[in-house]
Amino acid sequence: HPTAARRPADAITVQGENTLYTDEHITSKFYNRGADVVVQDGNRYLIKPAVTPFEFRLSARSLRLGILMLVGIGGNNGTTLVATILANRHNIAWHTKSTIQRPNYIGSLLRASTIRLGLDATGKDIYAPLSDLLPMVHPNDLVLGGWDISGVPLDAAMKRAAVLEWDLQRQVAPYMKEFGTPLPSIYYPDYIAANQEERADNVIPGNDKSFHLEQIRKDIRNFKATNNLDQVIVFWTANTERYSEIIPGVNDTAGAILSSIRNSHEEVAPSTVFAVASILEGVPFINGAPQNTFVPGVIELAEQHKSFIGGDDLKSGQTKLKSVLAEFLVNAGIKPLSIASYNHLGNNDGQNLSSQRQFRSKEISKSSVVDDMVAANHLLYKTKAEVEAEQGEHPDHIVVIKYVPAVGDSKRAIDEYYSEIMGGGRSTINIFNECEDSLLATPLILDLTILAELLTRIQYRQLVNDADVEFKPLYPVLSLLSYMLKAPLVKPGTDVVNSLSRQRNALETFLKACIGLEGSSDLLLETRIW
């Protein structure tokens, strides 16, 4: 399948004064063009265009392989991801009731979407796979491993998940069996729903959080050493946890979180122990679930160690659509008055979310997705100054999730967008969205992993008066991953961008900048002039 096909490492070459290729690096010059705006008297704008020159440097060190360690490898996402990679790697085709299906990576932004490069000599648009832009790991080459509190071996765990067609499961099972039992994990019953307790038969003993931290660090080091590789990504695709309470002195600073682990404080979640272990080992950690793993102390620790983190919560179905539709309506000058979202699902995630505190984490993650689009249009929505409140005017927005075992992994999402149109009129859009959850989420895990690995190899320097400044790694919070995330974590103090098209554009522009190309523009000036 084309999405799984291997492409030459030098599929794209830029010949230009801003791009330099050597055996070790691709170095590029990029002019970051922006605008400094002063708002005068509330309704006049004074704008000064601004240009800042940068240089990016991508280490092109050989990347035949990378390691992905999944927390929750025995779950629906975990087993679907492992089985999908194995099916692609071994080219396993399977019978469905209507056809013979070949494995692929459909749904992956990197493997299954293209980017417009420019025009050929006849004036036709030329598109290339996004994964061709820069040298990146191929998903088939990921070395996989991970932890789960459930000790069911991966072949049986895949069967339990009931996501994949039987004929695929049958063929891939012998390979899954080779993985055996996941590594034992950290289980603090208070963090996930009580209904998960019977799964927890593969746990690191005791309540000593320091010991747990050391064990996870050891697991990461051992896995690196056994596979003789140094590029590890740790990815949380385990159950949604409850929120941790933010308490001064407990988890608000790097020092506090480390000492809270030493004291086994109850407000340190298993996912936070994994995040801290990854940071201390200098490997990127991505959170695919909605809870606040990244309490302020963890972000500070990542800054101190210059170690990469990204999150939160995979944006697979309903929220992805919402981040498109809400933007379309608001940018069209139509005013959503209410957005009502109902979900039901029947997998283990749904069962865990049927418990109130875990649902609350998901509700928070799903709720903020329209905020920035609403705040961007003060013609439709009154600002907080106008309404004299903490928040400006906002559409009513509710999220309901119910557990309905019968539908299994096939989540149903029902959304109503109720909007004001001209002259007091009303417009209603109803969407019924059937999301085969794990089949939508798995490609996002791959994209996040491969991009995170890529971003660790990119360094930058800001060129000031041609001074010879050192190259630096990017800021630890990888907000360039936002496209795949429901509640993107960003650098503290900066705005979250939820709009899907802006998120994609940011990523495209950044990847292009790294090979010395200008950002993607739809100006098409050559088609507008004589």
Least separation in angstroms between CB 53 and ligand NAI: 39
Assess 71 for contact with ligand NAI (CB under 6 A).
yes
In this complex, which beta carbon is closest to ligand NAI, that of residue 30 or of residue 243?
A: 243
Do 127 and 115 form a contact (C-beta atoms < 8 A)?
A: yes
Do 283 and 220 form a contact (C-beta atoms < 8 A)?
A: yes
DSSP string, 411-442: EEEEEEEEEE-GGG-EEEEEEEEEEEHHHHHH
Distance CA 403, CA 354 (A): 6
Which token pair is 507? 């990523």
Assess 212 for contact with ligand NAI (CB under 6 A).
no
Compute the Cα dihedral for 511, 513, 518, 523 and give only its sign: positive
Least separation in angstroms between CB 144 and ligand NAI: 15
Q: Which of 76, 292, 419, 499 binds ligand NAI (CB under 6 A)?
A: 76
In this complex, which beta carbon is closest to ligand NAI, that of residue 71 or of residue 110?
A: 71
Q: Which of 3, 28, 215, 237 binds ligand NAI (CB under 6 A)?
A: 237
Q: Which of 239, 272, 482, 509 binds ligand NAI (CB under 6 A)?
A: 239
Residues 336-365, mask of contacts with ligand NAI (x by CB under 6 A): -----------xxx--x-------------
Assess 244 for contact with ligand NAI (CB under 6 A).
no
Assess 270 for contact with ligand NAI (CB under 6 A).
yes
Assess 302 for contact with ligand NAI (CB under 6 A).
no
Q: Using CB under 6 A, which residues numbered 159 to 198 contact ligand NAI?
A: 185-187, 192
Residue of 227, 194, 193, 206 whose CA lies nearest to 69? 227
In this complex, which beta carbon is closest to ligand NAI, that of residue 72 or of residue 297?
A: 72
In this complex, which beta carbon is closest to ligand NAI, that of residue 149 or of residue 454?
A: 149
Assess 238 for contact with ligand NAI (CB under 6 A).
yes
Distance CA 379, CA 38 (A): 19
Assess 288 for contact with ligand NAI (CB under 6 A).
yes
Kindly indicate which of the ranges 238-246, 297-305, 373-381, 474-482 contains the residues binding ligand NAI, using the contact rule CB under 6 A: 238-246
Q: Which of 72, 151, 346, 488 binds ligand NAI (CB under 6 A)?
A: 72
Distance CA 518, CA 205 (A): 54
| Active site residue ranges | 313, 362, 411, 486
Distance CA 37, CA 499 (A): 22
Chain centroid to Cα 283, Å, comes to 16
Residue of 2, 146, 180, 158 whose CA lies nearest to 84? 158
For 16, half-sphere exposure in the C-beta direction (CA atoms, 13 angstrom radius) is: 16
Residues 463-482, mask of contacts with ligand NAI (x by CB under 6 A): --------------------
Least separation in angstroms between CB 316 and ligand NAI: 4
The runs of H, that is alpha helices, within 263-312 are 270-281, 296-305
Strands 25-40 and 410-420: unpaired
Residue of 438, 349, 441 whose CA lies nearest to 401? 349
Which token pair is 235? 């990815």
Assess 489 for contact with ligand NAI (CB under 6 A).
no
Number of residues that bind ligand NAI (CB under 6 A): 34
Least separation in angstroms between CB 77 and ligand NAI: 3
Assess 448 for contact with ligand NAI (CB under 6 A).
no
Least separation in angstroms between CB 348 and ligand NAI: 3
Do 346 and 409 form a contact (C-beta atoms < 8 A)?
A: yes
DSSP string, 279-291: HHHT--EEE-SSS
Least separation in angstroms between CB 445 and ligand NAI: 9
Residues that bind ligand NAI (CB under 6 A): 71-72, 74-78, 147-150, 185-187, 192, 199, 237-240, 270, 288-289, 313-314, 316, 347-349, 352, 437-438, 440-441
